[in-house]
Amino acid sequence: MTRTALVLGVLLLAFLLALPAFAGSYLLSVATLILFFAYAGQAWNVMMGFAGQLSLGHSLYVGVGAYAAGALFFHYGVGPWAGIWLAVALCVALGAVIGFLAFRFGISGVYFALLTIAFAEFTRIGFDHIAWLGGPGGMFLKVAQRDTIDLASFRGPPEMYYYAMLALAAAAFAFCAWLLRSRAGYYWQAIREDEEAAQALGINTFRWKMLAVIISSAMTALAGVFFAFYYNNLFPEQIFHISRSIEIILGPIIGGLGTLFGPILGAAVLTILADGITEILAALGWEIPGVKQVFYGLVLLLVIMFLPHGIWPALARRIGLGR
Amino acid sequence: MSWELVVNVLVAGVLTGMVYGLMALGLSVIFGVVRVVNFAHGEMMTIAMYAAVIVFAALKLDPFLAVLPVAAAFFVFGYVLQAGLINPFITRPEHSQFMLLVAVAIIMVNALLMIFGPDARNVQTDYQLESWALGPILFDKARVFAASAAVAAAAALFAFFRFTLTGKAIRACADNWLGAKVVGLDVKRYYALTFGLGAACVAVAGCAMVLLVDVTPVLGPAYTLLAFVIVIVGGLGSMGGALLGGVLIGASEALAGLFIQPSAKSMFSFALLILVLLLRPQGLLGKRQ
């Protein structure tokens, strides 16, 4: 990361830290959502952007993480600080199983992507039939009063959730910046560019790809825990749905795959775009179901056609930055 | 549980599976030649189903007669989609193609939602309630017609690829696009032609399927996933595999619905997909690369 990028990062962080002082509750909820997708996108980016393994089933880790911590709280009153460990452990185990099976049997590219979809869909339908977790009717966490901060059970005002998500997103950014410059980061990039060549150079591609899956699934599990305690209701149909996986990966792809600022920029652009379209359509009185998503799809189409590498690389070139 | 019930359910599942197979055949042909996974496949299927519903409502034209104009329209649509939108993406990385088709799929689902609303639509003909009895086993007329249409369309496609010069040219592009280019084939035009044919398959499958189920916009993503499962099980790029996969998935869905729970039926399809990917990633009839 260049000096300019560092300054830019610090400025962005300062702005985000100060945001609750002047933002209203609506803006704060939008900002929290942006940070959520920036974080989840950063996690997915480790696997696809760094190591080149296309996962289309990251909703699996969000969902399992959310349900693990949510169930502990719902059934036993155990707060998220213990739930995190269960969520991470389960997601790492799942990621390791999927990664092991896929990489051991030489499954890659489109086939790997479809395998990840299959696991997520299998789990979605499975959770519909687990009565202990609420089944298709959903699981609802008790919503406590919101004006005081209760850190033990992670209950409090919107500002608390905002700062928690900001801390997660900032930590993920720093972690990914470090990862990208670590030995693992260079090995991943070698694998991403040409797996056979990487192997020929003596890189144990299986081991490093496994590491990417494990880190990515562990990070995504935390997004799930946050989701459970922020939204307080979990439905298999929503949380495991393939459209959730797509939401997660749109940010990094639109923002710039494999870059550090890409997932953040992409999440911001997409969330603001979606909300902006809603506002404009409401102002015009065009509130027909589906209109919003049609516009969203059109913008997506234009971005992918004209900015194949995402917005950030194009922007970074403009303002004279590296990645 | 009586064996008659099981056999009846199985027969219905296999017949529906043939229509699934034709839908998946479209996906398989497109992937086999163009090497692009059509993530908007199920969405195209629902558009075809709505087309059959509209034609039926406006002209009282039976879906089996509506097949011809709908398939022709879909052929043109597929051709234009490939020539205008997807051809520039064939040299781009997989995630880029994926994003493009996801965007197309999002537009399709929601355009249908805008136009038709979320309510289910269907087609009502007099033969939908009739059936032929062979001893204790019942064959629904609508299902038999739908399956026959699917098999006929698949056979026509097989014949086209095997016996016509254009079919041969398309196979050449699939086997070796550089070689095809060297001998003077306009590869991109054949890609567009192939996408058109794949879309026409979907159109026939959609017209047949509308006799068996009610259509809603949200069916699209579910059919996309179903088509993926079928072609992976049968072998991505293998034409016979798509039909075999369709029948297998149709039968397993029907039996899972009977023995376990209807809502759990696609869970078995995905379990089957995972097993096939792990044990035989090239699919049942696919060739190892």
Domain ranges, ordered by start, for chain B: 3-279
d(CA A86, CA A80): 9
> What confidence score (pLDDT) does residue A323 get?
47
> Quick one: pLDDT band at residue A1, thresholds 50, 70, 90?
low
- Using the predicted structure, report yes or no on whether residue A92 has a pLDDT greater than 50: yes
pLDDT over 70, % of chain B: 99
In B99-138, the residues whose Cβ lies within 8 Å of chain A are: 99-100, 102-107, 109-114, 117-118
Tell me the chain B residues in contact with residue A101 when contact means C-beta distances shorter than 8 Å.
278
Tell me how many degrees the CA angle B45-B46-B49 measures, rounded to the nearest 5: 95
| pLDDT at residue A289 is higher than 90 | no
Q: Does A97 touch chain B (CB under 8 A)?
A: no
For the cut 70, the answer to whether the pLDDT of residue A322 exceeds it is no
Tell me which of B77 and A78 has the higher pLDDT. Answer: B77
A159-177: per-residue pLDDT in tens?
Answer: 899 999 999 999 999 999 9
- Both tokens assigned to B109: 């689902």
Could you report the per-residue pLDDT of A21-73, keeping only the tens digit for each? 888 888 999 999 999 999 999 999 999 999 999 999 999 999 999 999 999 99
The whole-chain average pLDDT of chain B stands at 90
* pLDDT number for residue A321: 64
Say which amino acid occupies A48: M
A201-212 mean pLDDT: 94
Query: Rounded to 10 degrees, what is the CA torsion of A11, A12, A13, A19?
Result: 110
Contacts of A59 in chain B (CB under 8 A): none
Q: For B232-266, give one letter per residue: b (16+ CB within 10 A) or e.
A: bbbbbbbbbbbbbbbbbbbbbbbbbbbeeeeebbb
Q: What is the pLDDT of residues B208-231, one digit of tens each?
A: 999 999 999 989 988 998 999 999
Residue A114 and residue B273: Cβ atoms within 8 Å?
yes
- Residue in the block written with tokens 């026939």: B204
Sort out which chain B residues have CB atoms less than 8 A from A122's CB and list them. Answer: 267, 270-271, 274
Check residue B288 and give its pLDDT. Answer: 61
Give the helix/strand (H/E) hosting A160. Answer: helix A158-181
Residue A263 in contact with residue A309, Cβ under 8 Å? no
**pTM of the full structure:** 0.88
Q: What does the alpha-carbon distance between residue A273 and residue A34 come to, in Å, rounded to a whole number?
A: 11
CA atoms within 13 A on the CB side of B111: 14
Half-sphere exposure for A18 (CA within 13 Å, toward CB)? 6
Say yes or no for a CB contact (<8 Å) between B114 and A250.
Answer: no
Mean per-residue pLDDT of chain A: 89
Given this model, what pLDDT does residue A144 score? Answer: 67
The answer to whether A278 and A233 are in contact (CB under 8 A) is no
Q: Nearest CB to B264: which of A118, A125, A294?
A: A125
Q: Which of A246, A298, A307 best probes binding to B when mutated, by most B CB atoms within 10 angstroms?
A: A246
Residue among A120, A142, A91, A141 at smallest CA distance from A237: A120
Contact across the interface for A294 and B232, Cβ inside 8 Å = no
Partner B contacted by A125 (CB < 8 A): yes
Looking at CA atoms only, how far is residue A145 from chain B in angstroms?
A: 37
Which among B208, B202, B212, B239 has a CA at the least distance from the CA of B71? B202
Q: Which residues of B touch A294 (CB under 8 A)?
A: 106-107, 110-111, 114
In chain A, where the domains are located:
3-318
Interface touch B106/A107, C-beta < 8 Å = no
Query: How far is B165 from chain A, CA to nearest CA, in Å?
Result: 31
Tokens of A203: 């890189």
3-class SS string, A176-195: HHHHHHCHHHHHHHHHHHCH
Which residues of chain A make contact with B278, given a CB cutoff of 8 A?
101, 105, 107
Pairwise CA distance, residues B36 & B101, whole Å: 9
- Set of chain B residues whose Cβ sits within 8 Å of the Cβ of A115: 273-274, 277
| Interface touch B225/A121, C-beta < 8 Å | yes
Q: What is the predicted pLDDT for the residue at A304?
A: 87
Query: Contact, B103 vs A301, CB < 8 A?
Result: yes
Q: Which amino acid is at B77?
A: F
Q: Is the pLDDT of residue B3 over 60?
A: yes
* CATH-assigned architecture of domain A3-318: Orthogonal Bundle (1.10)
Residue given tokens 């194949």 in the structure block: A308
Q: Residue A226 above 90 pLDDT? A: yes
- Per-residue pLDDT band for A145 (boundaries 50, 70, 90) equals low
Query: What distance in Å separates the CA atoms of residue B277 and residue B288, rounded to the nearest whole number?
Result: 13
Confidence of residue B251 (pLDDT cuts 50, 70, 90): very high
Q: At what angle do helices A262-284 and A25-45 cross, to 10 degrees?
A: 140
Spell out which residues of chain B touch residue A52, defining contact as CB-CB under 8 Å. Answer: none
**Mean pLDDT value of segment B185-196:** 94
- For B3-279, the fitting CATH number among 3.30.1460, 1.10.3470, 1.10.10, 1.20.140 is 1.10.3470
**Does residue B69 or residue A243 have the better pLDDT?**
B69
Identify residue B40 by its one-letter amino acid code.
Answer: A
Residues of chain A positioned with their CB less than 8 A from the CB of B92: 308
- Provide the ipTM: 0.85
Q: How far apart are CA A103 and CA A107, in angstroms?
A: 6
Nearest chain A Cα distance for residue B221, angstroms: 9
CA A98 to chain centre: 18
Q: A91 or A150: which carries more pLDDT confidence? A: A91
Cβ–Cβ gap A305/B267 under 8 Å:
no
